[in-house]
Amino acid sequence: MRIEEEREMTIEDFFNLCENNNGTYQIETPDGWKEINFLIKKKNRECYNLIMQSGKELGCSETHRVFTDEGWKKTEDIDVEKNTILTKDGKEKIVAKEYIGTRDTFDLQVNSKESSYYSNDIVSHNCGKSLTCKAVSSLWKMPLLRLDFGKMFHSHIGASEENIRNAIKLAESIAPCILGETNIIINDENIQIKELFDTPNKDKRRIMNEQQKRNFN
């Protein structure tokens, strides 16, 4: 893409663009165009397709959050009969929520209010634990390990234990790693990383937003 070029594309095409090209990219948000900080791919997620009264559609994972008349809600918790969703054109009624099976999905984090952005003109939010861990790992220049328990267990006797031992050896070989008990300073307050997940959602968003302002301003 050329500098300052504006283009509409699928999130998958954008992910491939980021993988193959160096550069800075922005996405449209309720606060205007904002820079994307992180983009990660997640495989085999249970997904739904949301269909608005205007014809807008959004295919997303069951845990993807959109802004409703009741605040941020996971797709799986949305009530088609009761909830309305905030879009670029205002509040809209949902006419259908269709289960579309298991798909690969893409998460991004943007430096806007509550990390919100437009996906298919629908106000979305997808800044979760994975993105927080990746942000801390990148900021501290430390390796980030993703442990897939589904791949740890094996039908052969002793193989599961061997896989776990190998995982522990790998973690030890690239130490130091980031643990939940790791102390960080946010708003001049010394806390443990795990507190970002133990605090109520409102406080969690406040802490994460303040951290983002410090890191990216």
pLDDT tens by residue, the chain, 217 residues: 555 667 777 777 877 777 676 677 888 999 899 888 777 778 888 999 999 999 999 999 998 889 999 988 999 999 999 999 999 999 999 999 999 999 988 877 787 777 789 999 999 986 555 556 666 676 667 777 766 655 667 777 777 888 888 877 777 776 665 666 777 776 677 777 767 655 444 454 454 455 544 544 4
> Residue 132 falls within a domain, yes or no?
no
Give yes or no: residues 77 and 179 share one domain.
no
Give yes or no: residues 47 and 98 share one domain.
yes
Give yes or no: residues 114 and 143 share one domain.
no
> Is the alpha carbon torsion for 143, 135, 76, 59 positive or negative?
negative
- Among 63, 95, 126, the domain boundary falls at 126
- Among 98, 126, 154, the domain boundary falls at 126
Quote the pLDDT of residue 9.
Answer: 75
Quote the pLDDT of residue 213.
Answer: 47
Kindly state the helix (H) or strand (E) to which residue 30 belongs, with its residue range. Answer: none
Global model pTM greater than 0.75: no
- Rounded to whole angstroms, the Cα distance separating 124 from 213 reads 20
Quote the pLDDT of residue 156.
Answer: 75
Quote the pLDDT of residue 54.
Answer: 94
Residues whose CB is less than 8 angstroms from the CB of residue 112 and which lie 6 or more positions away in sequence, other chains included: 29, 30, 31, 34
Query: What is the domain count for the chain?
Result: 2
- Rounded to whole angstroms, the Cα distance separating 52 from 194 reads 37
Give yes or no: residues 36 and 107 share one domain.
yes
CB 112 within 8 A of CB 127: no
Quote the pLDDT of residue 173.
Answer: 72
Give yes or no: residues 153 and 212 share one domain.
yes
Structural domain for 195, as ranges: 138-216
Quote the pLDDT of residue 200.
Answer: 47
Collapsing DSSP to helix, strand or coil, 54 comes out as coil
CB 145 within 8 A of CB 122: no
pLDDT (tens digit, 9 = 90+) per residue, 38-77? 777 788 889 999 999 999 999 999 988 899 999 889 999 9
- Among 105, 126, 147, the domain boundary falls at 126
